[in-house]
Amino acid sequence: MSEGISRERFEVGDVLLVSCPSARARVVHVTPREVSVEWPWGQIDPSSEIRWNGHRSIPCTAPDDEWGGLFQIDPHPGHLEVGGYCLVGIPETLVRIIDIGRFDPPADVGWLPRPHTMLIVLPVAHPRAPRAEEEGDTIDLESAAPIKIDLLSRG
């Protein structure tokens, strides 16, 4: 997370510029709609009630009216095979916070560190639908991924 931005400062409606440098990840499953990889950040929480397997699925295609999410893969999924490698990261993306989840105690999500605060975001250019929370992606402020967050404007 960017220096100087504490999780308490974020508000619904804030516009953020987010990014995450790409990391190498091993491909564990490929379908026409998503690629599953061994997640290069974080670790399995041994005391969790959720048995996370260390994998994360990333959408690779979405209809024009849907958003695929923050994390992107490279190369294109059509060039990936199980056992091969790809890069996973977040290209610079302008997003708006549409909801904030705060957890005390931290949420049991299956991995460490457990999140205290999760921002639900949509790209600024994405029209907000009535069920936008279902379309949004989350930014875990305690994530082990080196996500950079810059607050551009207050909601």
Contacts of 9 (CB under 8 A, 6+ apart): 151
73, 60 Cβ separation under 8 angstroms: yes
Beta strands in 111-155 (DSSP E): 111-112, 117-123, 137-140, 148-153
Residue 94 predicted with pLDDT over 60:
yes
∠ Cα 18 21 26 (to 5°): 125
pLDDT at position 64:
55
Dihedral sign, Cα of residue 50, residue 51, residue 56, residue 59: negative
Dihedral sign, Cα of residue 47, residue 48, residue 53, residue 55: negative
pLDDT at position 100:
93
What's the mean per-residue pLDDT of the chain?
A: 86
Identify the band that residue 63 occupies on the pLDDT scale cut at 50, 70 and 90: low
Residue-wise pLDDT tens digits, 13-52: 999 999 999 999 999 999 888 899 999 997 999 999 998 9
